[in-house]
Amino acid sequence: MSAGVLLWRLIIELRRGQAFAEAAERTASRVGGALLFALAAYLVAGAAWKLWMRAGAEFSWPGLVISVAAVPIMYELSRRKLRLADALGSRALRTDAVESITCGWLAFVVVAALLAQLLIGAWWVDALASLGVVWFLVREAREAWTGEDCCDEHRH
């Protein structure tokens, strides 16, 4: 959804010009912030449910391979998005990059949780480690929602 919002924002700038782009940037940033808040709420609810049910992560080889691959891929993707967001002065693109960062961290959490569960039976690691990502999401969501700008000095 975040990428769709970002695409909408860029299309507005291409079709209507800079005056409309600034309003679209603010809207896209707020929508991105709302998506980050929703993701944080989802992580909290999912972790609470797993802890309540005493359920660990389910192991699958394809899931493990995808999670291992996602860590460096999401790291590189988010790094490039952050660099571009800074160059363009785009809070909306920064918010989208945060979602990529979160994807990478959650993939890392899955790998670590599966290993902890397989090696020492620590079923709770997945839920607790995913809660560790929530503080980052809430901080970034608040910044996106309130319009705190990462990149004012680069705006024209």
Lowest mean pLDDT among 7-16, 77-86, 124-133: 7-16
With 70 as the cut, is the pLDDT of residue 154 above it? Answer: no
Question: Which has the higher per-residue pLDDT, 12 or 78?
Answer: 78
Separation CA 94–CA 145 (nearest Å): 12
Comparing CA positions, the residue from 42, 107, 33, 43 lying closest to residue 74 is 107
Centre a 10 Å sphere on the Cβ of residue 120 and count the other Cβ atoms it contains: 9
Structure confidence at residue 150 as a pLDDT band (50, 70, 90): low
Separation CA 151–CA 57 (nearest Å): 39
Q: How many domains does the chain contain in total?
A: 1
CATH code at position 84: 1.20.1510.10
The boundaries of the domain holding residue 98 are 2-154
- The pLDDT assigned to 16 comes to 83
Separation CA 156–CA 149 (nearest Å): 14
Mean predicted confidence (pLDDT) in 78-107:
93
Lowest mean pLDDT among 1-5, 14-18, 49-53, 105-109: 14-18
Question: Which has the higher per-residue pLDDT, 147 or 76?
Answer: 76
Interval 20-68: pLDDT, tens:
888 889 999 999 999 999 999 999 999 999 999 999 888 889 999 999 9
Are 128 and 112 spatial neighbours (Cβ–Cβ below 8 Å)? no
Tokens, residue 37 = 């808040």
Angle (deg, nearest 10), helices 61-88 and 91-120? 160
